[in-house]
Amino acid sequence: MKDQILSYWDMCDTEGVQMLQRGMNFRLNVNYSVILMSQRSNAPYADRIHDDGITIEYEGHDILKTGPDIDPKTIDQPVKTKSGSITQNGLFVQAVEQFKANSHEPEIIRVYEKILPGIWSEKGFFRLIDYQYINDGNRNVFRFILEETEVEFADREFKENALKPRSRVIPTSVKKTVWERDEGKCVMCGATDELHFDHDLPYSKGGTSISSDNVKILCARHNLSKSDKIE
């Protein structure tokens, strides 16, 4: 469920792996890929959410640091390693090019965002639709473009929900404020498990995602009970 709050280990359990050690994970699941993003001030990459609230710009990843004299931040982000094997950047680039050539549907990406140390939020599923290879003033980096999609994943398969209203992504700063204000608990019952960030007034009905005043933490039970009452 979108905007579910997870610990690192909960996130790993959700994806059925012991550890998630890298940010880009092409086809981690047979059905989709996974990325871990961060907009925190100390984040290693320049990930961001566009002003439309439904588009993510995700920076590609650097070469591994293999020696004390190697600074990955001064080296162009690669599509292949020195041995010739394709990198995660390269796999994502291939997926975009296949989509643009009409030979493959856009790759579906499940996105998790780091909110605070040990606290993550699932942002839902996005389509990988484009990329750029640009100079950031220091070296060449990839910028991958992901757009929110109407698909849902249930019973180990995707189901398209064309009636599902798009909802603006809640900014990281708002989530951080809400987490601290609500003390990491459901505001209705004080539960500390199965938590979600929830809009008081849905975006589709005029609510906003950019203000902590319209966002609160609810457990799954109260999140669903509230949804049942929305007309």
Predicted confidence (pLDDT) per residue in 9-54, tens digit: 999 999 999 999 899 999 998 889 999 999 988 899 999 988 888 8
Nearest CA to 38 out of 139, 121, 140 is that of 121
List where CATH 2.30.280 sits in the chain: 5-167
Global pTM value: 0.83
Give the C-alpha distances (Å, rounded to integers) separating 217 from 26, 50, 178, 193: 31, 24, 7, 11
Q: Which two tokens stand for residue 139?
A: 């070296």
Q: Which residue has the higher pLDDT, 165 or 114?
A: 114
Per-residue model confidence as pLDDT tens digits over 47-61: 998 888 889 999 999
Q: Provide the pLDDT confidence category of residue 209 given band limits of 50, 70 and 90.
A: low
Comparison of pLDDT for 210 and 106, the residue scoring more: 106
Return the CATH architecture of domain 5-167: Roll (2.30)
CB 152 within 8 A of CB 161: yes
